[in-house]
Amino acid sequence: MPRLSSHFITVDQLGDRLADPNLVIVDCRFRLNDPTWGETQYQQGHIPGAYYLHLDRDLSGPVQQHGGRHPLPDPEAFVSLLSRLGIERNRTEVIIYDDFYCAFGARFWWLLKYYGHDKARLLDGGFPAWQTAQSPIATDIPGFKPGQFEPNPQPQLVVNRQDLLIATDNQRLVIDARDGDRYLGKVEPIDPIAGHIPGALSVSWKQVTDAQGFAQPPEAQQALWENLSPDQEIVLYCGSGVTACVNWLSLELTGHHNLKLYPGGWSDWCSYVAPSFDAKSP
């Protein structure tokens, strides 16, 4: 765990710091097929003091014809939200958890990074690990705190579809984080067209954690990217800019920092291919 501690915190470590006034805990549990599920679970029980952030409402912007199923949130609204949570850039430590292999927690972790806040870690093993340890559970909803988040946006961390289309060299590597069968176009449960961005490689986000949601040891993380130079420019995408952030987390752990996210992902890319794409579809 010490070699992962830059990005993860253990249940025991968090349990010892629940009273820390400089700590903000955020619950990001969610299900794509039931958008109300995570918030309902939060209301039934969560880590004491934790706030709940909803993928669609808080960590994404409005869906339009293009831009993907989970566009980045409106900057002003997102910064205002961080302020209400009492987060001050690079002063407050933020601990994030979900119960789905870091999928949704990593999205919030990445958004904090985009706005210049690096003092954030994920709870190793997520909420299931907290429950298994019989750690305290709360049902009360904490009130907002006075705060002023001063953003420092990092636009160089993002690319869009046009950036990928006009690339003229082979220095940029594009990695698809979705399951292999979706990458191969064998199945497509969400978007209107199956397949992947031409030239992209497949590295499933599910390899970053084990079956219980704990981060794989550093050696296993390194093995995922052993053929890539730390200086290699890498563009990460998935269906809609969520699980690609789990791969980003792993790459950072193994010393890769020349990283960019294509937030629209396959859902944005294929919206230009499918004339009948309905922005309201799931």
Out of 28, 102, 238, 245, pick the active-site residue. 238
Annotated active-site residue 102? The verdict is no
Q: What angle do CA 107, 112, 118 make, to 5 degrees?
A: 120
One-letter amino acid at 168 equals: T
Q: What angle do CA 229, 235, 237 make, to 5 degrees?
A: 130
DSSP string of the chain, one letter each residue? -GGGTTTEE-HHHHHTTTT-TTEEEEE----TT-TTHHHHHHHH-BSTT-EE--TTTTSS----SSS-SSPPPPHHHHHHHHHHTT--TTTSEEEEE-SSTTHHHHHHHHHHHHTT---EEEETTHHHHHHHTT---B-SPPPP----------GGGB--HHHHHT--SS-EEEEE-S-HHHHTTS--SSSSS----TT-EE--GGGSB-TTSPBPPHHHHHHHTTTS-TT-EEEEE-SSSSTHHHHHHHHHHTT---EEE-TTHHHHHTTTT-TT--TT--
Q: Active-site residue numbers?
A: 238
